[in-house]
Amino acid sequence: MTLSDKAANQKIILLDNLSLEDAKTKKFFEILQNLNLREKKIGKKTIKKDASKKEVKKKQKKEKSILVILPKKDEKVQRAAKNITRLKLIQANSLNVLDIISSNYLLMPVDSINEIEKFFDK
């Protein structure tokens, strides 16, 4: 039901493939920006230098939370995504209701759907 709700509200983003040549956070962040899941400006450009810690946390809370569902373990994607705020990475066979509900968006390659069907169709 939670997956159906996300689909009905257009909160699931499917990609043909999600792979990186290098495990670079900047490259993964650019993917999120291209999908309009993160603002185009990052870091100090979006937050004033004299901003308080409270303002920084408020800015981070406004960011969309993303659950990335991978069909299998991918070290490069995992390393690249590690430092991105409000982003959680899991494998398709570990998918659970709590993670789906607590995320604004689901981002996954098409292969993840096949893995979800295999794992939960038992």
Distances in Å between the alpha carbon of 73 and those of 29, 40, 70, 110? 19, 28, 7, 15
pLDDT over 80 (residue 51) = no
Which pLDDT score is estimated for 63? Answer: 82
CA dihedral 91, 68, 54, 30 (to 10 degrees): 130
Overall pTM surpassing 0.95 (yes/no): no
How does 57-94 read in b/e, with b if 16+ C-beta sit within 10 Å?
A: eeeeeebeebbbbbbeebeebeebbeebeebebebbee
pLDDT of residue 48: 56
Mean pLDDT, rounded, of the chain: 86
